[in-house]
Amino acid sequence: MRVIGIDPGLRACGWGVIDVVGSRQSHVANGTVRTEGRVIADRLLSLHRGLTAILARYAPDAAAVEQTFVNRDGAATLKLGQARGIAVLVPAQAGLDVGEYAPNAVKKAVVGTGHAAKQQIDHMVRMQLPGCDPDSPDAADALAVAMCHAFHLRSSNRLAAAIEAGR
């Protein structure tokens, strides 16, 4: 199974693609969509085009997006929410179900603690995906989102199999 993780951002949106075979995960690609334009509509369009091209190129089977972190600056949170909308829309347009994870859930799945620093996430992504060199902290976060989603998909498949076996 191929999984794409997306760390939404209006100026820089991280993405990471991994392949999952059983419990093994391997790095496929990662990067950062850097949006263009001065007005938000142009940036959102740039983000949509960039993510659409990435999904077309790597053809993932599953997608996950990090949930928006709400901060004190309401205007910034709303803008991030719009970028997140694009990050959810693009995989949905490709026919994928989109998993959504809180930042703390991603950190806990990858690092083991929900309050890990960015450097810890980057380190664990590199450790768990040998040969991986994230091009930005946003790309490392996106790879962590993909890894978290793969873990949850495996767990839910095991649960479904156990329930089916119990019938």
3 state SS of 73:
coil
7 is in an annotated binding site: yes
What are the residues whose beta carbons fall under 8 Å from the beta carbon of 85, sequence distance 6 or more?
A: none
Residue 135 annotated as part of some ligand binding site? no
Active site residues: 7, 66, 138
- On whether 138 is known to bind a ligand per the annotation, the reply is yes
In whole angstroms, what is the distance from residue 7 CA to residue 18 CA? 14
Q: Which residue, chain included where needed, has tokens 């859930």? A: 105
Copy the structure tokens of residue 151.
């873990």
Nearest-angstrom CA–CA distance, 69 and 102: 8
Task: Cite the annotated binding site for Mg(2+) by residue number.
Answer: 7, 66, 138
